[in-house]
Chains A and B, each alone.
Chain A
């Protein structure tokens, strides 16, 4: 009895504590996300061949996402095969890959783009042929070539990260932003979310927004120069944990780690290890299980059930105190905290 009461109290406390973090941000194009998609014409009988047109596979996040896809596919007998193509960051090749998947008569195409606009014509060809397309993990696309999206809202994510950072900074100071590859949904949405959140915190000043391309070494080098240019930096906005490690190391080597507040990163294992060691920073998740959601979404479409244009997988905040439940010290840095069963994790 007593333990149950404690549990309920703990839950309530957690909910109340988490409330400031549930986003006040609107999130991405809310109306369009909620739009219902008519899927009757995609209905077809099993067995299904699922095609995955990967924009790139040389990135640990997508490797995990793909494993989630495979795992979910294995749980459904009606999926006979998962065909994967890799465009290696070449949008021209991704167009060709999608065309090849269409030739192979797949029933469903899951994809994450190198460049969203470049592949739309090819995706439209698929849709015209009755093959539904699901944008997986990339962002939200509203376009004839994309039937539905399973994604993580980067605006909400960016907002959560920004607000936690401002809270830890007590609402004032100078910050720098470290963003991924310029022009990607992630970079654009995160920066937009930061600027919007900053409107409510007039004492926060953005010194510079830099693009570290999800590259730890590059982020470190850029930060070394930022440290040289700006004698005082109070906070770092860096939602991508991979880059956060590089940024933090640069501060540490310059002897300025104590003066700066690191924003939450994501659940990149290397970053989680850093958080566990330094007891600060935390994480806002970018769940790799969006791959599973995409498969499930695809199956619903193939079943003719109406779905919403966008299915979001929510991000969660993990405080530095709770990091130990997520970090895997014996696993590599280039690894992600996930809900994958052990045997499905990348080898």
Chain B
């Protein structure tokens, strides 16, 4: 195992140690906040991990999240009775969008960067044609999911842990998981070995779509309203988290644990910068440098990653 694969854990530990020096950081309330604030991104990053492991990429998840936030709140309109329909709508929409993307990816043979760049634009157009202002209201159950507590612990991070465990098991212990690694490691070789690469590719896009569904539910719960800009930029953050966590953009190598660690690191960094009262302009610069750093650290192992 390369040093860079483990690198994220060292960085995380260092930042945690440094953060512990700040008094406000140490409070349980603050830690719970950081975990809750990072939950939606964590879910999206988990989905993106599957996609990137497979050698693909999905830029549309951010806008898809935004669309789901808007629709869930608008359809539910704050009524508890609408919670189940809203949930079904979110999951269905995410899965459908992922399925369509997967289908287009298999049929059209264009680079997934361009394809999902196009679908991202289409989704953005749909969101803002539907509404240009906040609409609706999230039902109480979803707000609880995003912000509430279960036995004193915040619910959203628990959900993330559950999903992460599931993702980890899927990727390391199931046949599908091995197929994902195989396709990422070399599509032609995987096909020759008898793997239905098209189906694997389509499935990871569906997983990505569903991750946007769950992420969207969390964002909707946290904001309480269907804010159309809610998803903007999420895709880049998710990709950065995956890459920072040690997953190679060329596909075939990476882990769920790395992704989760990277999301935590990003959340911690935001929190520390805020607590230290660093100007938001400098925070922007820092964020850019982190992205660049993430790429530099990400060694594709000799093979050139796609553009």
Do the two chains belong together in a single complex?
yes
Q: Write the residues of chain A forming the contact surface with B, with a CB cutoff of 8 angstroms.
A: 57, 83-86, 88-92, 95-97, 99-100, 103-104, 115, 117-118, 120-121, 182-184, 211
Q: In the bound complex, what is the Cα–Cα distance between A97 and B227 (angstroms)?
A: 18
Q: In the bound complex, what is the Cα–Cα distance between A21 and B29 (angstroms)?
A: 52
Of A57, A96, A97, chain B has the most CB atoms within 10 Å of the CB of A96
Q: Which of A57, A85, A92, A182 contacts B223 (CB 8 A)?
A: A92
Q: In the bound complex, what is the Cα–Cα distance between A95 and B270 (angstroms)?
A: 13
Residues of B within 8 A of A97 (CB): 274
- B225 contacts A117, CB within 8 Å? yes
Residues of A within 8 A of B143 (CB): 121
5 other A-B residue contacts (CB within 8 Å) besides A92-B37, A92-B219, A118-B134 = A86-B281, A90-B229, A92-B40, A92-B223, A115-B227
- B30 contacts A211, CB within 8 Å? no
Q: Which of B132, B147, B280 contacts A211 (CB 8 A)?
A: B132
Is the C-beta of B271 less than 8 angstroms from some C-beta in chain A?
Answer: yes
Q: Answer whether A118 and B133 are a contact pair too, CB < 8 Å, given A88-B280, A100-B33.
A: no
Interface pairs (15), CB distance under 8 Å: A84-B277, A85-B280, A86-B279, A90-B229, A92-B37, A92-B223, A92-B230, A95-B37, A96-B37, A100-B33, A103-B33, A104-B24, A118-B134, A121-B143, A121-B147
- B227 contacts A88, CB within 8 Å? no
Residues of A within 8 A of B277 (CB): 83-84
Residues of A within 8 A of B172 (CB): none
Q: Which of A90, A100, A103, A182 contacts B132 (CB 8 A)?
A: A182
- B223 contacts A118, CB within 8 Å? yes
Shortest B113–chain A CB gap in Å is 25
Shortest B217–chain A CB gap in Å is 13
Contact pattern, B 266-286, Cβ under 8 Å of A = 1, otherwise 0 = 000011001101011101100
Which residues of chain B in 245-291 are interfacial with respect to chain A, using CB atoms and an 8 Å cutoff?
270-271, 274-275, 277, 279-281, 283-284
Q: Which of B30, B233, B284 contacts A103 (CB 8 A)?
A: B30
- A115 contacts B30, CB within 8 Å? no
Shortest A114–chain B CB gap in Å is 8
Shortest B72–chain A CB gap in Å is 14
Q: Which of chain B's residues has its CB closest to A125's CB?
A: B147
Residues of A within 8 A of B132 (CB): 182-183, 211
Give the total number of A-B pairs whose CB atoms are below 8 A apart.
74
Shortest B29–chain A CB gap in Å is 6
Q: In the bound complex, what is the Cα–Cα distance between A230 and B24 (angstroms)?
A: 59
Residues of B within 8 A of A184 (CB): 133
Residues of B within 8 A of A115 (CB): 134, 223, 225, 227
Q: In the bound complex, what is the Cα–Cα distance between A88 and B286 (angstroms)?
A: 14
Which residues of chain B in 215-247 are interfacial with respect to chain A, using CB atoms and an 8 Å cutoff?
219, 222-225, 227, 229-230, 232-233
Q: In the bound complex, what is the Cα–Cα distance between A99 and B37 (angstroms)?
A: 10
Shortest B147–chain A CB gap in Å is 7
Q: Which of chain A's residues has its CB closest to B143's CB?
A: A121
- B274 contacts A85, CB within 8 Å? yes
- A100 contacts B274, CB within 8 Å? yes
Q: Answer whether A183 and B134 are a contact pair too, CB < 8 Å, given A91-B223, A100-B33.
A: yes
Q: Which of A57, A91, A104 contacts B280 (CB 8 A)?
A: A57
Q: Answer whether A182 and B225 are a contact pair too, CB < 8 Å, given A83-B277, A103-B27.
A: no
Residues of A within 8 A of B137 (CB): 117
Q: In the bound complex, what is the Cα–Cα distance between A187 and B224 (angstroms)?
A: 22
Residues of A within 8 A of B147 (CB): 121
Q: In the bound complex, what is the Cα–Cα distance between A15 and B134 (angstroms)?
A: 42
Which residues of chain B in 17-40 are interfacial with respect to chain A, using CB atoms and an 8 Å cutoff?
24, 27, 29-30, 33, 37, 40
- B223 contacts A95, CB within 8 Å? yes
- B224 contacts A120, CB within 8 Å? yes
Q: Which of chain B's residues has its CB closest to A54's CB?
A: B280
Q: In the bound complex, what is the Cα–Cα distance between A95 and B143 (angstroms)?
A: 13
Which 3 A-B pairs have CB atoms at the shortest separation, nearest pair first? A183-B133, A86-B280, A182-B132
Shortest B22–chain A CB gap in Å is 10
Residues of A within 8 A of B279 (CB): 86
Q: Which of chain B's residues has its CB closest to A188's CB?
A: B133
- B33 contacts A96, CB within 8 Å? yes
Shortest B23–chain A CB gap in Å is 10
Shortest A90–chain B CB gap in Å is 8
Q: Which of chain B's residues has its CB closest to A57's CB?
A: B280
- A103 contacts B24, CB within 8 Å? yes
Residues of A within 8 A of B280 (CB): 57, 85-86, 88
- A89 contacts B229, CB within 8 Å? yes
- B227 contacts A91, CB within 8 Å? yes
Q: In the bound complex, what is the Cα–Cα distance between A96 and B281 (angstroms)?
A: 17
Shortest B231–chain A CB gap in Å is 10
Q: Which of B40, B232, B275, B284 contacts A100 (CB 8 A)?
A: B275
Which residues of chain B in 112-147 are interfacial with respect to chain A, using CB atoms and an 8 Å cutoff?
132-134, 137, 143, 147
Q: In the bound complex, what is the Cα–Cα distance between A120 and B227 (angstroms)?
A: 13
Q: In the bound complex, what is the Cα–Cα distance between A121 and B281 (angstroms)?
A: 26
